[in-house]
């Protein structure tokens, strides 16, 4: 099969289209997908840079989400799945013509979605659901602050928050992106390059602050985020794009009774991801099926143009999801 590989860590230009790569074979409780599209995510870029190695047993090929047709199944999987179109959270291997996925990590593709849109859902939906609603304990009527409001994660957080009765405030890097976030459904959008988001959050909330922060920046943003939180507020970190270390005032944490948490999804067990899939299937997937939630699509690149896709993501010009087209006939 064809797959994207890289001989050494580096910039987007290290990515190459390789021919003759062995097709993976599904093991117990796995399905083999003939790939239609693969989502492109920030962790793919970090892995390419040599900073995010795949967990033990995972494919070294990039790609954490996929859509495609099931063409074979391993031991313990009902053969009736063969021929069905699904999208899936993958432990790796999505940038290829075939990819093995655990059977507990797939969701059926609704008629309302294209296969390209389906590939843009799993990583962001699983990540946002777990971190906003499970770890962040978001409840209707609360206010959520999201950084990176026009990223794949940001746009998914906006849509889910809106669907479940939260008020959303997002930050973005330009007025154009702020406008895009509002069109997705954000109640308020702050251009962080021209406005102090701490002051803006205070004005928007009448000085009350927000209940929850979904943070992809970390670094010096953490101390500023804590200033934005109400008493008993929650701060959830899902990426460290601004640095892995933060200096915070613990007296503020104590006086406001704040909760700081965070997570990474990829290293979690198959059983955990299956349980997460099951909850999403009950609570959020009906919103995908009826069209309430539909991924915001930025651009589709051919598989051989994976380097261009990574460059676009790292330039920060994208609004919504970037995907790779592998077999557009599916």
Q: Report pLDDT digits (tens) over 280-298.
A: 999 999 999 999 999 999 9
Predicted local distance difference test score (pLDDT) of residue 11: 98
Q: Would you kindly state where each structural domain of the chain is located, as residue ranges?
A: 3-121+266-325, 125-262
Average pLDDT over residues 105-130: 97
In percent, how much of the chain has pLDDT > 70?
100
Kindly state the average pLDDT of the residues 31-43. Answer: 97
CA count, 13 A, side-chain hemisphere, 192: 17
The confidence score (pLDDT) of residue 307 equals: 98
According to DSSP H, which parts of the chain are helical?
42-48, 115-119, 122-128, 152-163, 175-184, 197-204, 221-228, 250-256, 270-283, 285-289, 306-315
Residue 125 pLDDT: 98
Q: How confident is the model at residue 321 (pLDDT cuts 50, 70, 90)?
A: very high
Q: Which CATH superfamily is domain 125-262 in?
A: NAD(P)-binding Rossmann-like Domain (3.40.50.720)
**Assign residue 267 a region: left if phi > 0, alpha if psi is -120 to 50, beta otherwise?**
alpha
Q: Looking at per-residue confidence, does 316 or 137 come out higher?
A: 137
Equal fold, 3-121+266-325 vs 125-262: no
pLDDT tens-digit map of 172-229: 999 999 999 999 999 999 999 999 999 999 999 999 999 999 999 999 999 999 999 9
User: pLDDT (tens digit, 9 = 90+) per residue, 231-280?
Assistant: 999 999 999 999 999 999 999 999 999 999 999 999 999 999 999 999 99
What is the residue-averaged pLDDT of the chain? 97
Q: Is the CATH number of domain 3-121+266-325 3.90.180.10?
A: yes
DSSP E strands, the chain? 3-5, 16-18, 30-40, 65-73, 85-89, 98-102, 106-108, 143-146, 167-172, 188-191, 210-215, 229-237, 259-262, 297-302, 321-325
Phi/psi at 35 (5° precision): -75, 135
Q: How far apart are the first and last CA of the chain?
A: 17
Integer Cα distance of 28 and 49 in angstroms: 32
The percentage of residues in the chain with a pLDDT greater than 90, rounded to a whole number, is 98
pLDDT at 103: 97
Section 78-86 average pLDDT: 97
Report the C-alpha gap between 195 and 104 in whole angstroms: 44
Q: How far is the C-alpha of 63 from the C-alpha of 2, rounded, in Å?
A: 14
Do 313 and 150 form a contact (C-beta atoms < 8 A)? Answer: no
Per-residue pLDDT tens digits for 196-206: 999 999 999 99
């Amino acid at each position: 099969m064809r797959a994207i590989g890289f001989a050494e860590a580096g910039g987007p230009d290290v990515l190459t289209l390789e021919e003759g790569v062995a097709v993976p074979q599904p093991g117990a409780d796995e399905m083999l997908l003939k790939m239609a599209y693969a989502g492109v995510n920030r962790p793919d870029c970090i892995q390419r840079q040599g900073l995010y190695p795949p967990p033990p047993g995972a494919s070294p090929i990039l790609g954490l989400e996929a859509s495609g047709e099931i063409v074979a199944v391993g031991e313990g999987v009902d053969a009736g799945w063969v021929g069905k179109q699904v999208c899936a959270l993958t432990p790796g291997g999505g940038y290829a013509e075939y990819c093995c996925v655990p059977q507990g990590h797939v969701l059926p593709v609704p008629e309302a979605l294209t296969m390209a849109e389906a590939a843009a859902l799993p990583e962001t939906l699983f990540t946002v659901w777990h971190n906003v609603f499970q770890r962040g304990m978001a409840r209707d009527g609360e206010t959520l602050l999201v950084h990176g409001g026009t990223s794949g994660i940001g746009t998914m957080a906006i849509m889910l928050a809106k669907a479940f009765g939260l008020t959303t405030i997002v930050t973005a890097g330009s007025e154009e992106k702020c406008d895009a976030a509002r069109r997705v459904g954000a109640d308020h959008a702050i251009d962080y390059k021209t406005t102090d988001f701490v002051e803006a959050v205070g004005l928007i909330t009448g000085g009350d602050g927000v209940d929850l922060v979904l943070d992809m920046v970390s670094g010096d943003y953490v101390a500023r985020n804590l200033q934005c939180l109400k008493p008993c507020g929650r701060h959830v970190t899902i990426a460290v794009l601004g640095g892995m270390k933060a200096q915070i005032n613990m007296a503020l944490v104590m006086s406001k009774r704040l909760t700081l948490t965070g997570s990474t999804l990829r290293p979690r067990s198959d059983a955990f991801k299956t349980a997460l899939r099951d909850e999403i299937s009950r609570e959020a997937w009906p919103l995908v099926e009826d069209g309430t939630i539909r991924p915001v699509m930025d651009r589709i690149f051919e598989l051989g143009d994976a380097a261009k896709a990574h460059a676009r993501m790292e330039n920060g010009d994208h609004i919504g999801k970037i995907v790779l087209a592998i077999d557009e006939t599916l």
